[in-house]
Structure 1
């Protein structure tokens, strides 16, 4: 996206913001590309110049929506969080659950896009996963390079499974918080 001229970046951002607003108001399955174009105040053909499919649009929406959580991934070391790793990890995993609890439609889209056949959506979802993993793995750094990545994958697997149960199958969301806290409790002694 950074290779686009400023006015095109602005139009792309306008489309993503409109698509995000639509997802906050209705289910993904109810949204058509025409709806996104209308909400963004662009022609349908213009929308397709920026995005190859609805999946591509919503992969960009997920990236944009998650940007605040990923901000710590790009923060410089001068402003690094000096709180204990256990506290950072616990806060981060609970924050992930809380974000999806507030916006369950975003979790559903995230799960749906895991199997996208659109190459552009797939690339954005791979980027989304890589940045999320790096962000979470940074808090497990005391475990060593490979183990921090492995532990971040385990944490994401637990979060994803518990959110699937809560959001897709009606299980209590409190179970998600309880299980991720138990996982952090298991790892915490090694983070000190």
Structure 2
């Protein structure tokens, strides 16, 4: 077993206020380190020192740096979701609102390219042991998209469209980070896939029938 991976300890109880504050310090330290040097700059010992916690304590919260960086992405998305709720997209159609929302999310990540690369690499490297954290990221992304659509009770077809949109957004991040796609191409891809929202709108079927 490597020094950066230890067995996960299942969480039995909700975190206390003190534990939550410690967790937030850890995530903040991780984001700072990743923002300066990317994936390789996030080492468990350095994170523990920057957060002011013992190394063993850090491992109790996050068994590996992949767990840590995926949790950091969830935290970043949660913050973004809060910002979007305060200043929601203003476009008329659901497809346009989702495209605007995802491009705002993309621009937020664009401002911290090393952090974005570290988080996306962690998602790519995640194995089954990180499934709960990856699922949380997916649920957060789904919630952001559904909010932009203005939906509380989506149909199975709409949820399927949301999943395809999520996959496209993630793929667009990877291709941009690797230098294989421009911002303009990312926007085109996002706007194109968001048209699935119109195709899965139950009202569209009734209007065309």
8 Å contact kept, 2:33–2:47:
yes
- 1:182/1:114 Cα in 2 relative to 1: closer, same or farther (>3 Å)? same
Which residue matches 2:193?
Answer: 183
8 Å contact kept, 2:161–2:200:
no
Which residue matches 1:23?
Answer: 34
> Which stretch shows the higher mean deviation, 180-189 or 32-41?
180-189
Note if 1:163 corresponds to 2:173. Answer: yes
- 1:126/1:143 Cα in 2 relative to 1: closer, same or farther (>3 Å)? closer
Structure 2 stretches lacking a partner, 5+ long: 1-10, 205-209
Which residue matches 1:104?
Answer: 113
Cα distance in 1 for residues equivalent to 2:104 and 2:81 = 12
Which residue matches 2:4?
Answer: none
CA offset at residue 60 of structure 1?
A: 1.7
Cα distance in 1 for residues equivalent to 2:64 and 2:195 = 42
Cα distance in 1 for residues equivalent to 2:24 and 2:33 = 14
8 Å contact kept, 1:137–1:148:
no
Cα distance in 2 for residues equivalent to 1:23 and 1:45 = 21
Cα distance in 1 for residues equivalent to 2:189 and 2:154 = 24
CA offset at residue 22 of structure 1?
A: 0.9
CA offset at residue 36 of structure 1?
A: 0.3
SS in 2 for 1:169: coil
> Which stretch shows the higher mean deviation, 123-132 or 167-176?
167-176
Question: Alpha carbon RMSD of aligned pairs, Å?
Answer: 3.2
Cα distance in 1 for residues equivalent to 2:101 and 2:131 = 25
Which residue matches 1:53?
Answer: 64
Residue in structure 1 matching 2:126, options 112, 116, 123: 116
SS in 2 for 1:52: coil
SS in 1 for 2:178: helix
Alignment size in residue pairs: 187
Which residue matches 2:143?
Answer: 134
